[in-house]
Amino acid sequence: MSIRDKVLAVMEREREGLIALSDRVWEYAEVGLQEYRSARDQESYLAERGFSVTSGVAGMPTAFVASKGEGSPVLAFLGEYDALPGTSQDTVPYPKPLQEKGPGHSCGHNLLGVGSLAAAVALAEVMEDEGIRGEIRYYGCPAEETLVGKVFMVKEGLFDDVDAAFCWHPAAVNAVRMDSTSAMNSVKFRFFGRSSHAAGAPEVGRSALDAVELMNVGANYLREHVIEEARIHYVITDGGGEPNVVPPEAEVWYYMRAPERDEVDDIFARLRRIAEGATLMTDTSVEEQFLSGCYNKLVNRPLAELVQRNLEAIGPPCFSEEDHRFAESMQEHLPKGQRKATLKSLRDRYDVDLGDTLLHEEIMPMTEPRGRRGGGSTDVADVSWVVPTIEFSAACSVLGAAGHSWQVTACSGNHIGHTGMILAGKVMALTALDLVEDPGALEEAKKAFEESVRENPYQSPIPDGVDPPLDQLPEH
């Protein structure tokens, strides 16, 4: 039996235990920086398989690093396990929250974390058995949804000695992700005024809520004068108490995104001036709390080509008849036009017509991104600026289901999600094995990485003195 076959055999042996671990994380559905049980279960699983575990790294109780083996190369598998608020859902193809307004794994991070863990476990075991040198690490990364975990782990230097990093993400298709992501800042602005009776003595008051609203008006006018791919969105987290009291404090939370890090910095500087303008108009003051920020993702072509070859070698997932019936039932609950829009987007991105496909049982071709794209962000990006990194997707949900929706939560806890997770674990393990067996392939990845960052080396977007936003947790 070849070493590759041995890695796959370990994955199959561990399959049921991995699925059970993924389902436990799905059931916990813990939001960012509160993933205590999710992290501990993964730590225990790894420790039982000979990994050394360091908990609470980079100032975050639910962040950890597990390692096995010694020497070089040092290969990292990136895991996540945070859920999203308000997306609780049972594993059925129609809306059925398990907890009204409760959290759910509507981005599939229960699958993401365990799939990466699976790759680390399988590869490390075979390398140990075969006497192959090298260190395998699993990074337990909290709070990806709020772009916190990996950014602070990178700033802490936890990736400084890593040779290559691997990650994947549950999606509706099996594909190497060649397009980048948006850089982002996450910042809260808290305004301070003066309370008074809103009817009896309004002239005495200075409304912090007025300042928040005026800032939002200014930000909405700003949208006309930023690049098309930029995104500015906000929520008012504190608007005061009762209407008859002029609010002495109010707060608004902003995300600002753009394709490049310097573009985010420019928008942030302008947004700060808008906040200051709001204080001048309302005779209030403002304090800023920088929560997190991240870069746009770098794509490493040599690693992408290795992943593509392994995806094609292993082959696409094969879903059961029950999975297909589930997908057909779920289609009835998608918003009108959503599935059509999803298929069009995939056709535009990959130049592939998926027809009436409900579950993706093919491998997408590796295609070049078409133009600059606005959109989501990930803290995987910051890892990609300090070490050669690759991220790809595996089909874990029904085509047409929107990210961060109840439909994804349902698929993340059933056989559809499990199938994609095991495929992803196998692809990552074999791609990492390629680097172990062929040092030249690793050197190619490093050379491509160095060329990407030579003119623009990474500088943490987190200002000095800023700690992980643990003060945002409910117990605070």
Of the candidates 16, 53, 11, the residue with the CA atom closest to the CA atom of residue 140:
53
Q: What is the DSSP letter of 294?
A: E
Tokens of 307: 């992943």
pLDDT at 75 over 50: yes
pLDDT in tens, 320-353: 999 999 999 999 998 888 888 888 888 888 888 8
pLDDT in tens, 235-293: 999 999 999 999 999 999 999 999 999 999 999 999 999 999 999 999 999 999 999 99
pLDDT at 191 over 80: yes
For residue 73, cis peptide bond before it (omega within 30 degrees of 0): yes
- Quote the mean pLDDT of the chain: 95
pLDDT at 473 over 90: no
- Across the range 110-138, mean pLDDT stands at 98
- What kind of architecture, by CATH, is found in domain 183-294? 2-Layer Sandwich (3.30)
For residue 285, the surrounding DSSP H or E stretch is strand 285-294
> CA end-to-end span of the chain, whole Å?
55
Burial label for 425, CB within 10 Å (0-12, 13-18, 19+), is buried
pLDDT (0 to 100) of residue 177:
82
Q: Which residue has the higher pLDDT, 305 or 342?
A: 305
Sequence-ordered list of residues with C-beta below 8 angstroms from that of 301, at least 6 positions apart, any chain: 448
How crowded is the C-beta side of 356, counted as CA atoms within 13 Å? 2
pLDDT at 179 over 90: no
The CATH code that applies to domain 3-181+296-453 is 3.40.630.10
pLDDT at 374 over 50: yes
For residue 8, the surrounding DSSP H or E stretch is helix 3-28
Of the candidates 295, 462, 290, 301, the residue with the CA atom closest to the CA atom of residue 392:
301
pLDDT band, very low/low/confident/very high, at 303 (cuts 50, 70, 90): very high
Specify which residues 143 forms β-bridges with. Answer: none
pLDDT in tens, 22-57: 999 999 999 999 999 999 999 999 999 999 999 999
DSSP codes of every residue in 84-120 = BTT----SSSS---SSTT--B-TT-HHHHHHHHHHHH
Q: How large a percentage of the chain has pLDDT more than 70?
A: 98
Specify which residues 137 forms β-bridges with. Answer: 67, 76
- Across the range 417-443, mean pLDDT stands at 98
Measured CA to CA, the distance from residue 410 to residue 98 in angstroms comes to: 11
Distance of CA 230 to the CA centre of its chain: 19
Global pTM value:
0.95
pLDDT (0 to 100) of residue 476:
41
The domain limits of the chain are 3-181+296-453, 183-294
pLDDT at 382 over 90: yes
pLDDT (0 to 100) of residue 150:
98
Of the candidates 138, 78, 16, the residue with the CA atom closest to the CA atom of residue 422:
16
Give ∠ CA 143-147-153 in degrees, rounded to 5.
75
Q: 305: left (phi > 0), else alpha (psi -120 to 50), else beta?
A: alpha
pLDDT (0 to 100) of residue 246:
97
